Amino acid sequence: MTALNHHPRNMGAQVRSVGHYQPARVVTNEEISQRIDTNDEWIRTRVGVQTRHLAREDETIDEMGALAGQDALRKAGLTAQDIDLVIVATSTPETPVPNVAASVAGRLGISVGAFDVNTACSGFSYGLANAHHAIIAGTAQRVLLVGAERFSSWLDWNDRSTAVIFGDAAGAAVVEASDTEGIGPVRWGSDGTKAGLIRIPDRHSSFMQEGQSVFRWATSEIAPIALQACEAAGVKPDELAAVVPHQANLRIIDAIARKLGADNAVIARDIVGSGNTSTASIPMALSKMLERKEIPSGSPVLLIGFGAGLTYAGQVIRCP
């Protein structure tokens, strides 16, 4: 058999910078309580959300994604011309065709490879693994990875069990080749037998979930996966400087952190001000933690995403 040429491979990859974008409109629990039968105390204690940002009617996923991408590029001191692959994780595109990543690349003025990943709330972690693997294989040197979500357009605003949970946002990371490994092995998986627990049943329907079942799954199954990701990277939980779980519910975040035993880590709690922003939640929470200088550069940070599918993915990264 003829051996074919392959790209020169890279030793490793690293997250160079992280950015985010949130729509300007802030919606409080009180505002929601005026429209549906809920209240601030229930939302704070059961979900952990105090405010969320919602997109304008005309604000699209690719627009939010490009703005988050520009923030990540600015923080890295780079321009879009330095990027050779764009990956967008989203589960709420306006339409299934065309993909969002090509539109984001177009908005940034580049015509590089561009594809979407849809694993809902675990999308950023899946996208990061794809970016990592593309760089290791040598097919990309510097990837712009975006997680963008606009759940507000898929919610039934009269359904109190879902309307109070979500926010709109985009997060982004610049992932680039590195001589030393800055991204640990991904631990990922799925359980399609539970696909019905979180879904949008058809194009005319709104988002639905069986909240209690998802809650039980997330609080029992995700911490062991997070531990596996730590082991795979060779990092003990008490060595983590930060843990950034998908911002689904403050009680889930706290349960994962407790079970993990990450006693010295800062735990991301961006859900309080932003709501559950699905695939945007991990990069946005990390971006804000870095802006607040809460995590020393170079220290190990655990990212762990989980959600519809059911899907999950986690990896330890070296903090930018």
By annotation, the residues acting in catalysis are: 121, 246, 276
State which residue, 28 or 141, has the beta carbon closest to ligand UT7: 28
Question: CB of 221: closest distance to ligand UT7 in angstroms?
Answer: 11
What stretches of 187-280 show up as alpha helix (H) in DSSP?
211-233, 250-260, 271-274
Under the criterion CB under 6 A, does residue 185 sit at the interface with ligand UT7? no
Under the criterion CB under 6 A, does residue 34 sit at the interface with ligand UT7? no
| Peptide bond connecting 78 to the previous residue in cis, omega within 30 degrees of 0 | no
State which residue, 81 or 158, has the beta carbon closest to ligand UT7: 158
Of 184, 295, 187, the closest CA to residue 244 belongs to 295
Q: Which of 13, 15, 18, 47 binds ligand UT7 (CB under 6 A)?
A: 47
Of 320, 300, 318, 304, the closest CA to residue 239 belongs to 300
State which residue, 134 or 223, has the beta carbon closest to ligand UT7: 223
Q: Which helix (H) or strand (E) holds 100?
A: helix 100-108
Interface stretch with ligand UT7, choices 6-14, 102-110, 205-213, 223-231 (CB under 6 A): 205-213
Identify residues 77-136 at the interface with ligand UT7 (CB under 6 A).
Answer: 121
Strands 198-199 and 208-209: antiparallel
Q: Which helix (H) or strand (E) holds 156?
A: none
313 three-state secondary structure: strand
Q: Which of 135, 218, 233, 303 binds ligand UT7 (CB under 6 A)?
A: 218
Residues that bind ligand UT7 (CB under 6 A): 38, 42, 46-47, 121, 160-161, 164, 198, 209, 211-212, 214-215, 218, 248-249, 252, 276, 307
